[in-house]
Structure 1
Amino acid sequence: MTQQHSDLASELESLEVKLAYQEDTIESLNQTVIAQQDQIDRLEQKVRAMLDKLKSIEEPEMPSAGQIELPPHY
């Protein structure tokens, strides 16, 4: 094999190694994004549940100014 062929083979091998690392990095990032989306979905569900619970709680009726009974003075 000539020097030129050897250099090309070495460069090709280097590119293949880089590609393998990039594919691994992309897969790792993809798994991270999937996990984060799952977490976002769970948090959104919890927030909706909390909002629904808050809406279901009745607010106590506040008496109007004319209906307020003053405490007796001693």
Structure 2
Amino acid sequence: MTLLNPETITQEIIELQSKIAYQELTIETLNQMIVKQQFDIEKLEAQFKYISSRLQGIEPSLMAMPHEETPPPHY
């Protein structure tokens, strides 16, 4: 078993603290991104529901669909 001197242990502790601080920052950044994306998703869902309800309220057109039209006489 290798004995570590106090300076080496101190340096390793500093490195670990630095890594933990970086990971905490990364986690916070990712959390903020998730919160924003959730807000965007909820906004899009509301817009989709609004558009869907508007489309359901539209009366069908009296015009025939292009594939239902008879071709003009010159064909």
Q: Which TM bucket (shorter chain)?
A: 0.7 to 0.9
TM-score by length of structure 1 reads: 0.75
More helix by share: 1
Identity of aligned residues (%): 37
Largest Rg, 1 or 2: 1
Number of aligned residues: 61
Cα separation, 1, equivalents of 2:8 and 2:15:
11
Give RMSD over aligned pairs.
Answer: 1.6
Gaps in structure 2 of 5+ consecutive residues: 64-75
Deviations 1:17-66 (A, max 9, x none): 0100000000000000110110011001100000000001111357xxxx
Structure 1, gaps ≥5 residues long: 63-74
TM-score (norm: length of structure 2) = 0.74
Which consecutive aligned stretches of 4+ in structure 1 deviate over 6 angstroms post-superposition?
A: none
